Amino acid sequence: MSNKAWGWLLMAAVFALDQASKAWLITDAPRVWKITPFFNVVMVWNHGISFGMLASHDARWLLIGVSLVAAAALLAWLQRGVTRPTACGIGLVTGGALGNALDRLRLGAVADFFDLHAAGWHWPAFNVADSAICMGVALLCATSMLHKDYKAST
């Protein structure tokens, strides 16, 4: 399978998993589901971006636009021919960005539900798309630092 195909496949898989998990959570999941002493599944509507930033502003359409422009730019980069790790990073980021953009478009906010906590401290709730975006950005950063001279094989 080509590097481009890996990127497109990961994008589709992340998008599908993200939307399926949110559909289940919104319709059927208990309000709070205690998984472990440090991990719960909870339903939280995020009207902003990471860590709830911009939540007090009506930035819905701006955030949708930024997500779509970023996804388009990353997919254009993918189409030029990139290494497999870069293609996978692009797929993770675009799948997550498009999943969260669709939430904002359809629902007016992003459904977040993973809740990590310890000793009274809570990490802000997040979802599959957020996780994929973080993993994709980390992969893109690592690839750019470790493989500067690596030529793309398409």
Q: Could you tell me how many helices (H) and strands (E) the chain has, helices first?
A: 4, 4
Which of the residues 103, 112, 115, 149 is marked catalytic?
112
Identify whether 112 is a catalytic site residue.
yes
Half-sphere exposure at residue 142, Cβ-oriented, CA atoms within 13 angstroms: 12
Residue tagged active-site, from 18, 103, 115, 130: 130
Q: What is the DSSP letter of 126?
A: B
The answer to whether the CB of 42 falls within 8 A of the CB of 32 is: yes
Question: Which residues are marked as active site?
Answer: 112, 130
